[in-house]
Amino acid sequence: MSALRVSATIAAALAEGRPVVALESSVLAQGLPIPANRDAAERMTRAVERAGALPAITAVVRGDTTASAALGITAGELERFLARTGVRKVAARDLAVACAQNADGATTVAASLCIASVAGAQVFSTGGIGGVHRDAPFDESGDLVELARTPMVVVCTGAKAILDLPATLERLETLGVTVLGYRTDELPGFFTRTTGLRLGARADSAREVAAVFRASLQLGRRQALLVVQPPPDDVALPQTVVDDAVESALNQARREGIRGAAVTPFLLAAVMAATEGRSLQANLGLLEANAGLAGEIAVALAEGG
């Protein structure tokens, strides 16, 4: 069995130059609670389809003897990931291990980029990327490194609000990753529309984003084009509410000695509790909006306009 598996539908679309949008699976298997994860999967895939593109969820999927890193999974496989039983969280560094050990693995942003890129997809959509952690400035997500070496369009709502956003923006600049605001001049705060962190470039249409990405490829740039879109108005939270919730969650994590990989899910759950579920609705709304924008960009790239 090959370590890479591309569904027949997605493979045909890529071969014919039709628009495809890759989606991550970690947000479904680890990031969102049941049943909100099913809602997210349905909303993201429908948003891509409404834009005229094909959605392709990335994951490591177990087989008879070994697993495959997959672009496009079956309905039955998706059910296993939504149930979350026995599903690993797989970053880029874990892909080969998960395949060799025949494990189901939900892929992070970094792992999803690895799979989508080698399969030939050009557009990927997620909620928020990883970045520099607040309490440990030398602890940063592998997402940043993968963004620095994967030439794809990545649509997101910035980095997760629990992170050090100024430091994350600085690291992206150092790594040569172009951050393009979509109809905004500043970095969104994931749950919030504003942060006060100014961006150096913006675009106001999917066609403009596609033009920037084509120019980047023509110049031999190997980094991703990171397109950041604010959360929709109807679900965005006030910045003061999010700041207070994150600070409270960080203090709780310090008191309880939460460290390492356990920090992010702990903080996100604490923020959801502190905002009485409003952050969950914001997360669902921005995932859908980002998938729709990614679909429009994929269509623009396929049309060459």
Residue identified by tokens 């879109």 is: 229
The helix (run of H) or strand (run of E) holding residue 93 is none
User: Backbone phi, then psi, for 72, in 5-degree steps?
Assistant: 100, 115
Q: Using alpha carbons, select from 127, 229, 225 the residue that is nearest to residue 182.
A: 229
CB contact burial 251-263 (16+ within 10 A = b; e otherwise):
eebeeeebeeeeb
- What are the C-alpha distances in Å from 56 to residues 113, 116, 165, 179? 12, 9, 29, 24
Residue 160 is a catalytic residue: yes
Q: Using alpha carbons, select from 271, 252, 247 the residue that is nearest to residue 128.
A: 271
Q: Which member of 160, 186, 288, 296 is catalytic?
A: 160
Identify the DSSP state of 159.
B
User: Are 237 and 279 in contact, with CB atoms under 8 Å apart?
Assistant: yes
Catalytic residue positions, numbered:
24, 160
